[in-house]
Structure 1
Amino acid sequence: MSTARNRRAQWAAGSAVALALLFAGAATVASARDGGAAPAGRPPTAESADAGFARDMAVHHQQAVEMSFIVRDRTRDEDVRRLAYDIANTQANQRGMLLGWLELWGLPKTAPDGKGPMAWMPDTPSTHSGHDMHGGHGTQSADRDGALMPGMATRTELRRLGEADGEGAEVLFLQLMTDHHKGGVAMAEGCAERCAVPVEKRLARTMVDAQRSELDLMSDMLAARGAAPRP
């Protein structure tokens, strides 16, 4: 592909994500009219599971979008690029909805003072790859190398992905995104159980179903490359 065509393809992919965020804002307003408040009719508080999930999953989704754009430029494999595009498009859209709800509820997009990531899911068991539900490896946030929540890649892992090429980049992306989806599923299941706003609970259940499906797909794609998810 020529440089000009490559730039046009990159612009198109970036524009699609931007448009997804724009349309998500409109969808957020519509969804707020159909369940944007808790059953009692009041908006959630900043300490609620609804607000905590919206804040944390917006950050979690942003990293998935970032990883997807990284691998798009590190491989020519159309299956991996298509998966990366689908993840970026879907999660950018959902991120716009989550941030839109916080805006409509009049709540900050950062945690209240003294509350770190995942405070809305206390006492949740560890998940996978040594990452506990509060990010990292059971260490303080300064030691987590940027992995603040379940399944998030560290800054070191993101740098490795940006330096990899071809099949090496494909395998690392699929492994990192598998971890990311497992963490995301655990968070979405937490919201489905704890959140009070009906439309947010529905979105959380949608995330669980979609990401489980993508986990199966990524497992098959790893096997086709003689690799497997990380233990």
Structure 2
Amino acid sequence: MTEQSLRAHSIIVEFSGLRALDNVSLHLNRGEILGLIGPNGSGKTTLINVLTGQVKPVSGTVTCDGEDLSALLPRHRALRGIMRSFQTVRLFHNLTVRENIEVAAIAKGLSRKQAGRAADQLLEEFSLFHQRFELASALNYGDERRVEIARALAASPKYLLLDEPAAGMNEEESSMLMEILARLPQERNLGIIIIDHDMPLIMRLCHRLQAIAQGKTIGEGGVDEVRRLPAVIEAYLGADALEHDADYMKATPHA
């Protein structure tokens, strides 16, 4: 049976002599959600950029379902099933909401008619159908986020990498998004990586966590296990927080 996982092996990334990632490895299986956590500047987005091909590491490899992708450009990795969202939303503002999603489906090889049906299904799923003919430029930030994720799904990815998907959303919008994301791995045989600073969301949604600080992995495993690791608590709150039982990391328990 073909391996169904996205893997980064011993990744080293340097920017102008500064080591942004130091021998970091990661694996993501289909059907699971992995939370990638750590302080600002820890290397989380850089690791996503390595997986998708936007950043070339000094050393290390990226494989998808057993295939080495290290030499492939971002667009070729997308065709292999690796899709992402960005910290800053990148919609086509001169296109309608529906057209933004259709574009990704057509790029995957669907006809215009098939792409329209796929877009409408995703618009319903993300509670955006009533806005399908609005220009993307008219959307609020939370809706932009949902359209971006729906667009990524229109390309039928195997692995979806989400960089702060709940940024700019209010509590209700964030909860709605979490409900949708929680269903996707099983419904679509999809692996998801989520970077987010909303720790209650991360704790409830993810099956596993990997924590990074200063370019190194400092913990990985089950949610309850990782959030209690002293190195993880210190990375978020500083050494003095260890004696105070780290209330910040005691977010809503994983469901």
TM-score, normalised by the number of residues in structure 2 = 0.29
TM-score, normalised by the number of residues in structure 1 = 0.31
